[in-house]
């Protein structure tokens, strides 16, 4: 019984993986691809791995560590990638209708250091 | 029954890995490839755990953990490099 | 005081991971793991210091549990949202980057907030400068900072303020 429940949970997770892959193929630029790639693989791996954990309760402890690790690190790597994509936004052809970050960068480059914080504060946080 | 469903799940995950591989091959820019690589890392980690279950050797879960760690560090390193240079 | 709390939480976290890794437990392994975890948590570096921002009052812990459920709900919602957008034949996206403000001051709170935003419907944290977060929004509903803050940050901030200021 546990086996069949676990297998179906894994199947739902695998469907989210497929969704992430379709998103990666269909979305028009890197930032939008990240939207599909990050979210769907996170929930997909949670379900897929816990499905395996339900099928084989011996694995549950390690699978739990792996899930916590993925949930904590996946947003971090996607954040680093988003910054890389934004730094290269012209090259990758990203269409951003309001782009507050580029506007603020232009303002800082123009010499107004008023509201936006420093680069160092970013790395500390 | 459970085995069949799980095999289908693994098959779909492999299909997703191959589709992400298409995005990795197509690019067109390094950032797109890294995004695909990030997704493929997570997929490969999950599939290694599935392989641990199918082969009955729990040591592969440790392999999956180390692969996840190295993949995460690799993606972040590449992303930082792309942010500065390219 | 904050450092003591950070080291205690770091010790507990490390030891929990060790216990989960060595799943069929025996006393020797557990004690050895506890000793090594204690040594690591006493090292004079501050890698664990953000953990000191976690409040340990009963109320904060209850809200932490509630936050986990809010987060899971948001994660499922965001995946259904991604499913809708990816499978829709017309690909209904209208991306942009909006600026939102956060009231959270502690590094841990901001880390959790940024990570939660990345995993919730249609948003990815791109950059954080001072009190401003720059969010990539797949379908910009309102580019105005105030409205965007209420829509993206408000729900999580309410919980994170209680959990870790």
Domain residue limits at B17: 2-84
Total domains in the fold of chain B:
1
Give the residue ranges of chain C where pLDDT is below 70. 45-48, 165
Residue A64 forms part of a structural domain: yes
Nearest Cα to Cα of residue A9 among A37, A65, A49, A36: A49
For C110, the token pair is 């901001």
Cα–Cα distance measured from residue C38 to residue C36, given in angstroms and rounded to the nearest whole number: 5
DSSP C105: -
- Domain extents in chain C: 2-53, 58-164
The pTM of the full predicted model, rounded to 2 decimals, is 0.86
- Predicted pLDDT of residue B67: 93
Has residue B14 got a pLDDT over 90?
A: yes
Whether residue A55 contacts residue B6, with contact meaning beta carbons closer than 8 Å, is answered with yes
Total domains in the fold of chain A:
1
DSSP output for A8-49: HHHHHHHHHHHHHHHHHHHSSSHHHHHHHHHHHHHHHHHHHH
Most A CBs within 10 Å: which of C51, C116, C126, as the mutation test of the A interface?
C126
Min Cα distance B56 → chain A (Å) is 10
- Pick the residue from chain C with its C-alpha nearest to A83: C126
- Pick the residue from chain A with its C-alpha nearest to C91: A27
Neighbours of chain B (3+ CB pairs under 8 A): A
Residues 6+ apart with CB under 8 A from A18: B12, B13, B15, B16, B19
Residue A14 forms part of a structural domain: yes
Nearest Cα to Cα of residue B33 among B67, B86, C107: B86
Nearest Cα to Cα of residue B51 among A114, C109, A57, A52: A52
Cα–Cα distance measured from residue C165 to residue C162, given in angstroms and rounded to the nearest whole number: 6
- Predicted pLDDT of residue A18: 92
Q: Mark which residues 21-80 of B lie under 8 Å from A by CB.
A: 22-23, 29, 31-32, 34-36, 38-39, 42-43, 45-46, 49-50, 52-53, 58, 61-62, 64-65, 68-69, 72, 75-76, 79-80
Mean pLDDT across B12-31: 89
Whether residue C140 contacts residue C96, with contact meaning beta carbons closer than 8 Å, is answered with yes
| Angle (nearest 5°) at CA B31 between B21 and C143 | 120
Has residue A120 got a pLDDT over 50?
A: no
Has residue A118 got a pLDDT over 60?
A: no
Has residue A113 got a pLDDT over 70?
A: no
DSSP A3: H
Question: How many helices (DSSP H) and strands (DSSP E) are in chain C?
Answer: 6, 3
Mean pLDDT across B21-50: 89
- Predicted pLDDT of residue A123: 42
- Predicted pLDDT of residue B86: 47
B58 versus A97: which is more confidently predicted? Answer: B58
pLDDT of A38-88, one tens digit each?
888 999 999 999 999 998 888 888 889 999 999 989 999 998 888 888 888
Min Cα distance A82 → chain C (Å) is 5
C51 versus B47: which is more confidently predicted? Answer: B47
Domain residue limits at A20: 2-113
């Amino acid at each position: 019984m546990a086996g069949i429940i676990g297998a179906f949970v894994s199947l739902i997770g695998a469907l989210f993986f497929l969704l992430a892959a379709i998103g990666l193929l269909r979305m028009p630029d890197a930032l939008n691809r990240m939207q599909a790639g990050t979210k769907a693989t996170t929930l997909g791996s949670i379900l897929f791995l816990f499905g395996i954990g339900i099928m084989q309760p011996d694995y549950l402890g390690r699978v739990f560590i792996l899930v916590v690790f993925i949930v904590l690190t996946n947003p971090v790597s996607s954040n680093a990638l988003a910054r890389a994509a934004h730094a290269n936004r012209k090259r990758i052809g990203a269409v951003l209708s309001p782009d507050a970050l580029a506007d603020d960068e232009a303002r800082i480059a123009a010499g107004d250091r008023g509201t936006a914080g420093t680069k160092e504060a970013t790395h500390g946080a | 029954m459970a085995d069949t469903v799980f095999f289908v799940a693994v098959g779909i995950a492999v299909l997703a890995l191959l589709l992400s591989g298409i995005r990795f091959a197509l690019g067109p820019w390094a950032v797109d490839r890294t995004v695909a690589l990030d997704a493929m890392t997570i997929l490969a980690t999950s599939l290694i755990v599935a392989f641990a279950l199918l082969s009955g050797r729990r040591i592969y879960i440790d392999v999956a953990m180390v692969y996840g760690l190295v993949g995460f560090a690799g993606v972040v390193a590449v992303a930082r490099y792309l942010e500065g240079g390219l | 005081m904050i450092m003591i709390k950070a080291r205690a939480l770091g010790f507990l976290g490390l030891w929990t991971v060790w216990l989960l890794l060595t799943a069929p437990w025996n006393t020797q392994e557990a004690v050895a793991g506890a000793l090594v975890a204690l040594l690591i948590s006493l090292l004079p570096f501050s890698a664990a210091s953000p953990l000191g921002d976690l409040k340990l009052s009963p109320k904060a812990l209850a809200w932490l549990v509630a936050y986990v459920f809010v987060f899971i709900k948001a994660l499922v919602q965001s995946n259904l949202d991604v499913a809708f957008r990816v499978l829709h034949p017309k690909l209904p996206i209208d991306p942009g980057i909006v600026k939102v403000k956060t009231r959270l001051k502690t590094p841990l709170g901001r880390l959790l907030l940024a990570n939660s935003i990345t995993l919730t419907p249609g948003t990815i944290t791109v950059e954080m400068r001072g009190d401003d977060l720059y969010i990539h929004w797949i379908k910009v509903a309102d580019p105005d900072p105030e409205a965007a803050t209420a829509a993206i940050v408000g729900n999580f901030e309410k919980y994170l303020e209680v959990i870790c200021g």
